[in-house]
């Protein structure tokens, strides 16, 4: 028998699995939508008491915990990658600024312009 809690937990599990796919695909818009949907389910589950959850729900909750931990690891890895990209781009931008200060921001014409 599928109780309301079981149906909600199965939907949460399905969304969590899609969450893994969106993290791997770096689809942050979809990830945010999935997180919003999961929050709505969490709110709905908050209306139930502990006695309302059948024993079968415990297995689904265990699976949800494992998927959530996996997703957290995926996100941590992606965050490291993004931080490294930001640092690389910051260094490049700083180098470009230094080059511009040295060569691009001269008052008046340079030596080479006098021959053109």
**What pLDDT tens digit does each residue of the chain (116 aa) get?**
568 999 999 999 999 999 999 999 999 999 999 999 999 999 999 988 888 888 889 999 999 999 999 999 999 999 999 899 999 998 888 888 888 888 875 555 555 555 55
Q: Where are the domains of the chain?
A: 4-94
Q: What DSSP letter does each residue of 22-77 carry, written as one string?
A: HHHTT-HHHHHHHHHHHHHHHHHHTTS-GGGS-THHHHHHHHHHHHHHHHHHHHHH
């Amino acid at each position: 028998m599928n109780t309301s809690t079981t149906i909600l937990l199965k939907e949460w599990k399905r969304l969590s699995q899609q969450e893994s796919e969106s993290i791997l695909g770096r689809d942050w818009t979809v990830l945010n939508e999935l997180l919003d949907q999961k929050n709505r389910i969490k709110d709905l589950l908050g209306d139930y008491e502990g006695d309302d959850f059948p024993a079968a729900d415990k297995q689904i909750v265990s699976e949800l915990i494992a998927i959530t931990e996996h997703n957290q690891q995926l996100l941590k890895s992606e965050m490291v990658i993004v931080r490294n990209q930001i640092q690389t781009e910051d260094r490049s931008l700083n180098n470009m600024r230094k080059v511009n200060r040295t060569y691009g921001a001269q008052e008046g014409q340079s030596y080479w312009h006098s021959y053109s």
